[in-house]
């Protein structure tokens, strides 16, 4: 694509990242490099370790070995909230929202975390215009202005996936980690989510875990392929399509069965 | 009074606003509690002054627990420790002749809060049943400490021969005792209100609703919970300091796990996560206990049955009934024009 001229600015890099669950190596010596402003897809079969890798980037899981650098700063040991403050936010593969709260409250909580004062226990909460503004801004970006006062539990699955992205955006992250944002959505909802993700390009750096290869090829600037915890390839969409190891390990069947829409098993229904 | 403008911008009630009392309820409660001794005196039943003071003390202790349990979702079975530390602090200082309330009460609060902070540091790293068991275990340590150390009076506890001293007020008078308890508990309730109505309180409720999400959007969840747990412990210690005065002493019973359980029962009875849940639960429990034990030997059985009935009728506590009635009224209003 268009990375040839200027040298890319690396926002996030991991070195020798390794995570074991008992005997299982879920992340195996990963060296990932993510460039500023790109949509970087992370693909791989079920159980390849994509969610586990994201969890280490977001701080939920501590790696056994290796380092994570974000904007040149070592964040390997930074707790989750510290990373959000540093500019990293994530969405969950299985929707995890405040189901009994309204859309507005869900978004406002993200804004409150960012604007601080959560230890200000005696301060009055009269002036909440900052929360209101931030919540509205995020709601508008993900197209939820019309359901602001609805309880999240009553929203459709597609709407909840949009909010899942919205609460992450309301944190004003520079790096967004999206774990299968289209999981369990119907074609129309996926389409909308795809458009949403495209609108992030340039404003945020995005790591996108996604099973739907059509979506990945359409949205991604670059792709990394994870198989059994190992990063076996990183490159542009065309690089990955042609990469012999990737074809062998992963895309092989699809190249033969020409033009099938969803080459990967398990692309549907997770978290539905 | 309801400062949550972003939540108040819409009419519906959500968990973020359910725990905040309206101003009218607060005024009604304040007036009722202020007039109570006058009514009791007029009826010629001064004994009920002491009962009123005890209700207020337990209302404070249960409300303190409610901050951790109801608002923060931390099911602590160890709050007897903080209650007891507060009570023993006043009693032990009393033995040494340190009777001034302005000294013993702050010491009681700080010791209880410190205890809560230390217990919280360890126990808040666990979740669910483990948290319940660890808080219980810590509280048991304090119980055994109290019964085995002679300085603490062993099994008999410690008497407080002279109640805490206040400038210009003698707590020996039951009426003065009641109003002192009301004044202190009132201050504590104002503080509790400020806490739950602040951004801190909102974060706490949201942690109860979804802890993982709160971490993911950038809240220092562990520190927030520890802060709430510490404040809860400190206020429970204050209640203990008051109880030592009302009861003219402390016994190890204050530190038993029954006591922790009793506070939980009060919170659940009154309404976990509702501002007046602690007061409602304490009042119902202690009044029922009083009335029943006067009339029958088997009052425990009847108390149990009545509590069971209340919990079945109002599974989320008595204070939740208002919301239920409001919703029903709203449904009726919305249903009527359509029909
Ligand atoms: N907490 C855990 N404890 C033990 N094993 C785990 C844990 N989390 C994940 N695993 C295992 O690690 C491997 C990688 O899991 P992970 O969820 O990261 O895969 P994934 O690529 O996200 O898969 P999917 O496409 O199904 O979401 C799997 O074999 C999984 O069973
Ligand atoms: Mg996954």
CB contact under 8 A, A125 and B197: yes
Average pLDDT over residues A182-197: 92
Interface of A with B in 107-126 (CB under 8 A): 108-110, 112-114, 117-126
Has residue B311 been placed in a domain? no
Has residue A160 been placed in a domain? yes
Has residue B166 been placed in a domain? yes
Q: What is the SS3 string spanning chain B?
A: CCCCHHHHCCCCCCHHHHCCCCHHHHHHHHHHHHHHHHHHHHHCCCHHHHHHHHHHHHHHHHHHHHHHHHHCCCCCCCHHHHHHHHHHHHHHHHHCCCCEHHHHHHHHHHHHHHHHHHHHHHHCCCCHHHHHHHHHHHHHHHHHHHHHCHHHCHHHCEECCCCCEECCECCCCHHHHHHHHHHHHHHHHHHHHHHHHCHHHHHHHHHHHCHHHHHHCCCCHHHHHHHHHHHHHHHHHHHHHHHHHHCCEECHHHHCHHHHHHHHHHHHHHCCCCCCHHHHHHHHHHHHHHHHHHHCCCHHHHHHHHHHHHHHHCCCCCCHHHHHHHHHHHHHHHHHHHC
Give the pLDDT of residue B336: 60
CB contact under 8 A, B213 and A96: yes
In ligand 1, the atom with minimum distance to the C-alpha of A226 is 21
CB contact under 8 A, B220 and A124: no
Has residue A97 been placed in a domain? yes
Token code pair at residue B195: 């806490």
Has residue A102 been placed in a domain? yes
CA of A180 to the centre of ligand 2 (A): 7
Q: pLDDT tens digit string along A26-44?
A: 999 999 999 999 999 999 9
Has residue B87 been placed in a domain? yes
Among A125, A145, A150, the strongest candidate for a mutation testing the B interface, having the largest count of B CBs within 10 A, is: A125
CA of A47 to the centre of ligand 1 (A): 5
Q: pLDDT tens digit string along B103-152?
A: 999 999 999 999 999 999 999 999 999 999 999 999 999 999 999 998 88
Residue A192 pLDDT > 80, yes or no? Answer: yes
Has residue B300 been placed in a domain? no
Asked if residue A47 has its Cβ within 6 Å of ligand 1, the reply is: yes
Has residue B278 been placed in a domain? no
Has residue B264 been placed in a domain? no
Q: Across the interface, which of B12, B15, B213 has its CB nearest the CB of A97?
A: B213
Query: Which segment of A92-101, A145-154, A263-272 scores lowest on mean pLDDT?
Result: A263-272
Asked if residue A263 has its Cβ within 6 Å of ligand 1, the reply is: no
CB contact under 8 A, B14 and A151: yes
pLDDT band at A122 (very low <50, low <70, confident <90, very high): low
Interface check for A97 against chain B (CB to CB < 8 A): the answer is yes
CATH code of residue A95: 3.40.50.300
Q: What averages of pLDDT result for each successive group of 10 residues across chain B (339 residues)?
A: 40 81 91 94 87 97 98 96 97 93 96 98 95 97 94 90 89 93 97 93 96 96 97 98 96 96 95 95 94 86 88 87 82 64
Q: How many domains does chain B have?
A: 1
Give the pLDDT of residue B85: 97
Has residue B141 been placed in a domain? yes
Give the pLDDT of residue A211: 87
pLDDT > 70: percent of chain A = 85
Has residue A217 been placed in a domain? no
Residue A119 pLDDT > 80, yes or no? Answer: no
Has residue A29 been placed in a domain? no
Average pLDDT, chain B: 91
Give the pLDDT of residue B103: 93
B29 vs A119 pLDDT, higher one: B29
Give the pLDDT of residue A130: 86
Residue B136 lies in domain? 3-255
What angle in degrees, to the nearest 10, is found between the helix axes of B174-197 and B221-246? 170
Interface of A with B in 134-193 (CB under 8 A): 135, 148-149, 151, 167-168, 170-171
Residue A106 lies in domain? 88-172
B133 vs A124 pLDDT, higher one: B133
CB contact under 8 A, A108 and B221: no
Has residue B132 been placed in a domain? yes
In ligand 1, the atom with minimum distance to the C-alpha of A50 is 21
Interface check for A17 against chain B (CB to CB < 8 A): the answer is no
Interface of A with B in 50-89 (CB under 8 A): 58, 60, 79-81, 84-85, 89
Give the pLDDT of residue B325: 84
Has residue A58 been placed in a domain? no
Has residue A157 been placed in a domain? yes
Has residue A163 been placed in a domain? yes
Q: How many domains does chain A have?
A: 1
């Amino acid at each position: 694509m268009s990375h040839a001229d200027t040298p890319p600015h690396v926002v996030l890099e991991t070195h020798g990242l390794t995570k074991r669950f008992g005997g299982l190596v879920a992340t195996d010596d990963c060296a990932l490099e993510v460039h500023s402003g790109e949509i970087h897809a992370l693909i791989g079969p079920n159980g390849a370790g994509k969610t586990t890798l994201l969890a280490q980037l977001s701080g939920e899981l501590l790696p056994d070995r290796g380092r994570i650098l974000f904007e040149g700063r070592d964040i390997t040991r930074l707790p989750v909230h510290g990373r959000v403050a540093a500019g990293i936010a994530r969405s969950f593969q299985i929707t995890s929202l405040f189901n009994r709260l309204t859309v507005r409250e869900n978004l406002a909580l993200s804004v409150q975390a960012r604007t601080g004062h959560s230890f200000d226990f005696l301060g009055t909460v009269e002036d909440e215009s900052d929360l209101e503004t931030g919540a509205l801004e995020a709601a508008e970006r993900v197209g939820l202005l019309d359901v602001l006062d609805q309880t999240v539990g009553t929203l459709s699955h597609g709407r909840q996936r949009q909010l899942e992205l919205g609460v992450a955006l309301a944190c004003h992250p520079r790096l967004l980690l999206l774990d299968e944002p289209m999981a369990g959505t119907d074609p129309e909802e996926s389409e909308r989510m795809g458009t949403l993700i495209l609108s992030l390009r340039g404003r945020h750096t995005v790591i996108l875990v996604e099973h739907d290869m059509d979506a990945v090829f359409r949205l991604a600037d670059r792709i990394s392929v994870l198989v059994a915890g190992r990063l076996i390839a990183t490159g542009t969409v065309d690089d990955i399509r042609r990469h012999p190891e990737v074809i062998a390990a992963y895309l092989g069947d699809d190249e033969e069965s020409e033009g099938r829409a969803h080459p990967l098993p398990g692309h549907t229904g997770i978290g539905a | 009074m309801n400062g949550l403008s972003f939540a108040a911008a819409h009419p519906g009630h959500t968990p973020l606003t359910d725990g905040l009392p309206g101003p009218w309820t607060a005024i009604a409660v304040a007036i009722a509690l202020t007039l109570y001794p006058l009514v009791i005196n007029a009826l010629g039943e001064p004994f009920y002054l002491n009962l009123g003071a005890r209700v207020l003390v337990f209302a404070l202790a249960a409300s303190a627990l409610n901050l951790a349990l109801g608002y923060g979702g931390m099911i602590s079975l160890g709050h007897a420790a903080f209650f007891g530390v507060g009570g023993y602090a006043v009693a032990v200082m009393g033995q040494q002749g340190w009777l001034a309330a302005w000294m013993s009460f702050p010491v009681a609060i700080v010791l209880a809060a410190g205890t809560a902070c230390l217990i919280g540091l360890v126990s808040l790293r666990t979740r669910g049943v483990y948290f319940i068991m660890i808080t219980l275990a810590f509280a048991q340590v304090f119980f055994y400490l109290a019964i085995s150390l002679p300085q603490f009076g062993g099994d008999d506890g410690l008497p407080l021969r002279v109640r805490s001293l206040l400038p210009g007020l003698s707590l020996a008078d039951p009426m003065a005792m009641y109003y002192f308890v009301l004044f202190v508990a009132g201050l504590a309730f104002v503080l509790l209100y400020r806490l739950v109505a602040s951004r801190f309180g909102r974060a706490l409720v949201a942690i109860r609703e979804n802890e993982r999400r709160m971490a993911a959007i950038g809240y220092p969840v562990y520190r927030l919970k520890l802060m709430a747990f510490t404040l809860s412990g400190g206020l429970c210690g204050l209640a203990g300091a008051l109880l030592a005065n009302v009861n003219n002493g402390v016994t190890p019973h204050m530190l038993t796990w029954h006591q922790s359980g009793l506070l939980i029962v009060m919170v659940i009875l009154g309404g976990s996560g509702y501002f007046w849940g602690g007061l409602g639960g304490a009042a119902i429990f202690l009044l029922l206990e009083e009335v029943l034990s006067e009339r029958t030997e088997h009052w425990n059985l009847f108390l149990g049955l009545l509590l069971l009935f209340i919990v079945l009728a109002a599974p989320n506590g008595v204070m939740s009934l208002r919301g239920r009635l409001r919703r029903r009224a709203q449904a009726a209003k919305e249903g009527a024009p359509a029909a």
